[in-house]
Structure 1
Amino acid sequence: MRLLAFLGVVLASALAFPRLGLHEGYTRLVFDLEAKTQYQIAQSPDTLTIRFQGIKVGAADVDVSSPQVASYQVVVASNSVTVFVRLKPSVEIKSVVLEDGNRRRLVVDVLASAQAPAKPNPPPKGLEPPRPRTQPKVVVIDPGHGGVDSGAVGFVVEKEVTLDLALRLRQLLQKEGIEVVLTRSSDTHLSPDKATDLGLRAEMANSKRNLFVSIHVNSAPNVAQGIETYYFGSVLDPSLLAQVIRENGGGELGRRLTQEAQSVGERLVRDLIAQSNLKFSRQLAHYVQGALVQATGAVDRGVRQAPFYVIRNARIPAILVEVGFANHPEEGRRLQTEAYRQTLAQALARGILRFLSNGE
Structure 2
Amino acid sequence: MTTSSRISPCLWLVGARPRTLPASIAPVAVGAAAAWRSVLPPACPELFPQPGWCTAAQMRYQMFGSRFWVVTVLCAAVALLLQIAVNFANDYSDGIRGSDANRGESSGESSGEPTAKASVRSGADPSRPGAFQRLVASGVPPRLVLAAAGVASGAACVCGLAAIAVTRAWWLLAVGAVSLLAGWFYTGGRHPYGYAGFGELSVFAFFGLAAVLGTEYALTGGLDPPGALGAVCCGLNAVMLLMVNNLRDLNDDRAHGKRTLAVRLGERAARAALAVCAASEVLVGAAAGWLLWGAVGAAAMLIAGAVLPWRLARCAWARAFRPAFMAASGQSLAFAALFVLCAVLPAMVPGLFLGV
> Under a length normalisation based on structure 2, what TM-score does the superposition of the two structures give?
0.28
Indicate the structure with greater helix content. Answer: 2
Q: Which has the higher strand share?
A: 1
